Amino acid sequence: MNKVTINIDWCKGCGLCAEACPKKIISLASDKLNKKGYHPACITDEEKCIACAMCAVMCPETVIKVEKL
Amino acid sequence: MGQIVFDRPKALSDVQLTYCPGCTHGIVHRLIAQVIDELEIEGRTVGIAPVGCSVFAYNFFDCDMIQAPHGRAPAVATGVKRAHPNNVLFTYQGDGDLAAIGTAETVHVGARGENITTIFINNAIYGMTGGQMAPTTLYKQVTMTTPYGREKNIQGSPIKVCEMLATLDGTAYAERVAVDCVKNVNATKKAIKKAFQIQMAGKGYSIVEVLSACPTEWGKSPVEALEWIRTDMMPFYPLGIYKDVTEG
């Protein structure tokens, strides 16, 4: 089990993480808004995460932390 | 115990960036901070912030930062480096700052072979001022000031900064990279690290040109903007090392 933590208050919903994810388990939460009014990125199926950190590498805001548990 | 695969680098301040969604300034900021962490030089690094969208870069790095007048970052860096030769100096400049108002400083810092590193963000447009044509704007590219596309016989030709600076004897390292995909982001980090190492070895001026995205002023989504770097920018601005004195 791997753990991805996203600081959603700083996320600007650009979607570059979702594009980079090889497992396609990141999406922009259409039912949620953060402080700045963006739809933040969220993990839809953390079980499938392989902790490659490609999302974090492409994130311009550096709000993603990836841990291998 | 969990193993941390990726976390914020220490040299990146704990503040939110002021850039638009999908702006790749953030990626390059983080790469510089990661390199500073890896080389363990935060205590003796001085960054020079430009004028442009990245004018607030002094807030985003945890090392010492100086805000220079428009285009004069290399001149400020020269002064700091000559007064404190053991410090590691980097200038962070966009295309308007480096290739328009600061062209003289850019060319002469290379000509003098100052031991500093320049991180040059090339997004082929003026971001902060509202999307006007930059010196690096491509032929046929539509901007606020080239509504019919840039024409060679009217607006002139784009400046290829790495190629130009590679002709100078004082330039030790010139490489063009991009931040359009994971592979190229990793290559960018490697290039920035190498540029810092060349500076620390006292070999001369080093510049890393980063092809970056400006989704807002290009009128594209962040994902489309990265695609545009690949389809339109890379054919005109080929990636690669243009000069490296440590090789051959």
Tens digit of each residue's pLDDT (9 = 90 or more) over B70-97? 999 999 999 999 999 999 999 999 999 9
For chain A, the average pLDDT equals 95
In a domain, B3, yes or no: no
The reply to whether B146 falls in a domain is yes
pLDDT band at residue A69 using 50, 70 and 90 as cut-offs = confident
ipTM value for the complex: 0.96
Which residues in chain A have their CB less than 8 angstroms from residue B221's CB? 15
Nearest to B6 among A14, A38, A65 (CB): A65
Tell whether B228 lies on the interface with A, counting CB pairs under 8 A: no
Per the CB < 8 A criterion, the answer to whether B102 and B93 are in contact is yes
Asked whether A61 and B14 are in contact (CB, 8 A), the reply is no
A28 touches chain B (CB under 8 A): no
Q: Does B14 touch chain A (CB under 8 A)?
A: no
Residue B108 domain-assigned (yes or no): yes
Number of domains, chain B: 1
| Nearest one of B26, B6, B1, B4 to B16, comparing CA atoms | B26
User: Within 10 Å of residue B99's Cβ, how many Cβ atoms?
Assistant: 23
For residue B41, the enclosing domain spans 25-244
The pTM (predicted TM-score) of the whole model is: 0.96
Mutate to test the interface with A, among B1, B4, B5 (most CBs of A within 10 A): B5
Assigned domain for B103 exists: yes
pLDDT digits (tens, 9 = 90+) for B201-229: 999 999 999 999 999 999 999 999 999 99
Do the domain assignments include residue B6? no
Q: How far apart are CA B98 and CA B161, in angstroms?
A: 9
Q: State how far residue A12 is from chain B, nearest Cα, in angstroms.
A: 5
We report the CATH number of the domain holding residue B240 as 3.40.50.970
Q: In this structure, is residue B200 part of a structural domain?
A: yes
In a domain, B33, yes or no: yes
